[in-house]
Each structure stands twice: as structure tokens, then as C-alpha cells.
Structure 1
């Protein structure tokens, strides 16, 4: 674990220990912060390294979780791959399409996966089934969203809102030098949803941000062509909200909370011409399921990679395009690359 004292590490490290066959071998801190990391290490019976390079040189470590500020993800993912380690990297994997592609080229036979924990929750699997996409979990949706499983017809509009009121004091999310801002934090979740739901990237995007020196929130529209769109809002100022809705020609599928806690049931509402029904999905720990899927991929079961590298490339491309759209005050075309 690189970034053992981060907030997200407090959720992922316990999950690692609960997955059979997985062990927290070692954690690392920035040079000079070994005492704080040592407290974390003692909770899991792990070794502590003074500096990230020291951990990457540990022969007992097979895979590394990168839980560092956004601006550090690419550097340390690449160094971990160079050291022969598999990598689970906190989202966003990178702040640019080209950096995602660099990681892909460096990976070779090693596993790299971006950590979108909500994609591993059973309610996500249920949504995919309701879309008529078969039994295979929560991976990329195929084609144009014409599944009949939920009776909602052709998928036409995705609405997604991801937001959480975030304290500013000492928070790396508000530091532009560290890749801060709403777009690369909660925004990633918002545009992740239509990308897997439609299974393709948009033709063009539009966005309006507010905030300085980083974006604190945004509204955005993604145009997928042929009457298919996504309407998004995300923010570090209001919430909590992690809702998305898939609107088809004959109905809709709504997820009340994609960020369910380990003790909270998932609730999905399906509205069709035949009426309204709720699907309740038993509580589960999305972080634990994410770790288990990553471990399965490391052991050779690559079909467990719910978030493949080509999807991460799409997410980074859309994030960059939204930033450009806000800067130019107009639509940004993604078809002319």
C-alpha cells in the first residue's frame, strides 16, 4: 500500500485482510513519516517502509495499491509496474488519456485496474441484468442499450449526480498542484456511469464549472449521438448524493445510492408502463468485492476485471474534454482525434 495514512486506505486495507488468500504484507509512507504509517502497519501485522521505493523493492509484495494524491498516480503506477508488481490504482488512474495509455504499455502481462468500487457492488450487477445484458456482473455494456430485461426499451438518457460536501481545511482535493477539483474526484463517478451504460464514448461534451483555484462543481452534457445523451452534475459543495438513472424508451432504472455502505441494502427502482417496482439488493462491502476481483485477475482470471484499461482510457479522455469544454465555453468534439 502506497499512501497508508490516506482516508481511502482506511477502507481498502481492512477489505484486503477479509479476502481469503490475501495478506497486507507492507505499507509505505513518504520519507520521514514512517511513524504514522507504522501505526497502520501494526493493525494489520504488516511491515512498514520509509519511502515508496523501499516498498516496491520488497520481494514479498506481489501487488500494490496506489492511494496517493491524483497527481502521483501515474508516477507510482509506472514505478510499481517497472518493479514487477500488479497495480490497483485509486481513481482517477490518470489525468490524461496519454498517461493512461503509458500505463497500459508498461503493464505487459501485469494486471492494472482502476478502483471504481461501486462497480463491484451486487446492485450494479443487478442493474446490468435489468438492462438485459446477461449475468456477467457490472462490466462494459454492449452496443446501444437495447436490452429488454428491465422492460425499459432502448437506453436514451443517463442522469447521474455524484456529490459530497467536503471540508476544505488541509484537504488535497482543493490543491490544483495535486490534481484536485471536483472533476477528477466525484466527477469521475458521474461520467463513468454513461460510459459503461452506453458502452461507447460520447461524440461531444459540454460543461460549465464553478470554483477557484479548482473546480468545486459542474453540470455537464455528453452527446452519444442518435438521440442518446447523459446529463450530469457533481460537486464537492453539496450532497451527499450518488444517484443515477437510466432512462429508456419505455421506462427507467434508478439507483438511489451507488455509494452504499457495507451495512446498507441497495435499492433500485424500476418504472415502466406496467407500473413501479423496487429491487432490494442485500448489503455488501464494495471495497472487499473490488479487492477480491483484482486478486482473481492477478491469479489469472482476467474476466474479473470489471474496469478494463480501455475503459479507464475513455474516462480520462472524457475528463480532459470536459475541462476543455469549460475553458472554451462551447462543445468539444471527440470524433476528430
Structure 2
């Protein structure tokens, strides 16, 4: 922690999401400071530090973890490196905000538990949407009875990326649609319904060259017959949308995941009297940076020692659903979600 009492963050790698979105968001805060950035390429780290105005640059991840001034590490490394480097950060006495998915399986995610408990350091999976006002309002409407009994959620999240060098198209390091963006749909169901799915079924289309899932569709069934249906894809036109559907109303979130920080967000609330939402009420939210809100939430929690509602156990549960979806692909049938 620096002399002003702000938590000091260190960034583990120069991944694009860090340089383009997360670091600029953190630098808007007066409650934390980005103190260092690292890369396996020292020149690249130095250039990133210069361009973003970060005080220290390190030519290795180990050097950043050894910096005694760093309180919290942000880990945006490729998926297969999330757990190994989060574990190293915990052992170095740092809290960790790790990009989604936290791990490649629930069992791998759970291996962080002992180190987290022993060191007293927090691990959070970076689902930034849970901090955006549009999502907090959507959950309030869904759980507060404004839509009647909410029985269904529909999620679509797609983009087109066919670059064989892109980490999202490399199966052996955790590429593919489900781990990259389908994990958001899993988190949405658990966030809105306020519980865990009991069983799932998935159908997967894999790229013949990459081996990654380029199109995955699934059903997640929650208690009381409630269900979330989603499609995620890496080789379709860029699009995203969420509908939360109840017995007397529905909520449409037009830009649920990548809401720009400089534009106001909208929820469309419709009672179904006019087809296609012609009579919808529109809730509008001022422009906010959801990455900033996520970082300040986690930073404050780490500094105060409060219990994290989105801590490691939550990440393990999300991965348990993804494990069941992979199992369903193999069995070509329904798969029970294992309790954690």
C-alpha cells in the first residue's frame, strides 16, 4: 500500500485486455493505483509502462511478484496460466483478480483453496458485469417480482475470430467459445436466479482445424424448472443479447457484456402487450466503467478484510457447471452438476 493509503496493483502481462481496458479503467480511480506491469519481454513491459504512465516495469512475472509494494495482482494471462500464476501470486502474499475463466476445471480451481486460506489472500474471478448498474437493476427486477415468476433466460454471445495464432483458437491452452464467453452465460444464470443449476445439456460444434468449440449451445436447468438457454460462438457475426423472461414481463439487455464505458446503458422492460417490445419501458443508466467498478470493489474488500461474495468458491461453482457441459458433450445427454 502506498503512503496515501491506496492499494497498489500490479499487472501480470501486457495482454490486450489489460492495456486497452482494465489498466485505463483502474487509472480513473482515486482509491487505488497501478504501480507496476510485467512481461516476459522487458522492452514490451517498459513500453507499456511508458505509454500508460506506470511507475515500474518488470521483465518477468516473478520480479513483479517479488515487489513488496504490490498489494493486488491482476492476472490476464492465457487461460491455462491462470491457476499456476495465481498460485504463485498467493504464495508471494498478493491478492489476485484473475480473468475468466479462473481455471480449466473445477478441480483445478479448487487447488487454490489451501493457499488462499493459508495466506489470507483473496482470489476473485473477473466477471465485471456483476458490478454494472444495468445488471444490478436486472437482478432486482427478476428477483423482486416485477416480471412475475421468472422462468427463463436467453443468452447469445458471439464474435468472429479465425486467427490460428490467437489464444482463443488454441484448444490445448483453454481456447474456444465456452471457456472464453460461454462462461458469462453460466455466471448470468447463477447471478439472476440466485442459485446453482441442477443439470445441463450441451451440443458442441468444433472447428476441424483448431479443435476448439466454435459454436456451443446449452440448456441449464435450475430448481423449479427454471432454465437458461444460451448460444456462444467464435465464428459468427459479432452479437450479444440477454432476455430475462417472466410470467408477466421480460427484461431485454441489448449490450449485456461489452457495454462501452462512455455510453449510457439501457434496459427494455416489456409486459408483452405489444409484439417486439413496442410498449417497452426503458431504464437508462449513466455511463460507467464496469472494469473500474469491479476493481474498486475488490480493492476495498482486500484492504478491509471483508468476506468476498464472489470469492474462490463462487469461481469453483461456475467451473463445475462448465465441467458438466463438457461431460454432456461427451455423453450426448444430460449431465448433473456436481456439488462443490
What is the TM-score when the length of structure 1 is the normalising length? 0.89
| Offset, 1:167 | 4.2
Q: Does 1:276 align with 2:280?
A: yes
Which residue in the other structure is 1:248 paired with?
246
Whether the 8 Å CA contact 2:43–2:59 is kept in 1: the answer is no
Residue 8 of structure 1 aligns to a residue whose secondary structure is helix
Which residue in the other structure is 1:315 paired with?
318
Cα deviation, 1:76-111, whole Å, max 9, x if unaligned, reads 001100110010000011111122222233212212
Whether the 8 Å CA contact 2:260–2:289 is kept in 1: the answer is yes
| Offset, 1:169 | 4.2
Which residue in the other structure is 2:336 paired with?
333
Distance 2:338 2:327 in 1: 15
Which residue in the other structure is 1:193 paired with?
188
What 5-or-longer segments of structure 2 have no aligned partner? Answer: 1-9, 274-278
Q: In the superposition, relative to structure 1, how do residues 306 and 160 fare at CA in structure 2: closer, same or farther (>3 Å)? A: farther
Cα deviation, 1:237-273, whole Å, max 9, x if unaligned, reads 1242231111112111111111210112211111126
Residue 268 of structure 2 aligns to a residue whose secondary structure is strand
| Offset, 1:189 | 0.8
**Superposed CA RMSD:** 1.8
Which residue in the other structure is 2:114 paired with?
105
Q: Give 1:91's match in structure 2, choosing from 92, 100, 105.
A: 100
What 5-or-longer segments of structure 1 have no aligned partner? Answer: 133-146
Whether the 8 Å CA contact 1:244–1:256 is kept in 2: the answer is yes
Distance 1:204 1:102 in 2: 24
Distance 2:193 2:14 in 1: 37
Task: Note the 1:138-217 alignment, pairs <5 A.
Answer: 147-148=144-145, 151-212=146-207, 213-217=211-215
| Offset, 1:194 | 0.7
Whether the 8 Å CA contact 2:31–2:296 is kept in 1: the answer is no
Whether the 8 Å CA contact 2:13–2:61 is kept in 1: the answer is no
Residue 235 of structure 2 aligns to a residue whose secondary structure is coil
Whether the 8 Å CA contact 2:162–2:169 is kept in 1: the answer is no
| Offset, 1:233 | 0.3
Which residue in the other structure is 1:50 paired with?
59
Distance 1:239 1:263 in 2: 24
Distance 1:241 1:223 in 2: 24
What is the TM-score when the length of structure 2 is the normalising length? 0.88
Distance 1:76 1:200 in 2: 29
Whether the 8 Å CA contact 1:117–1:287 is kept in 2: the answer is yes
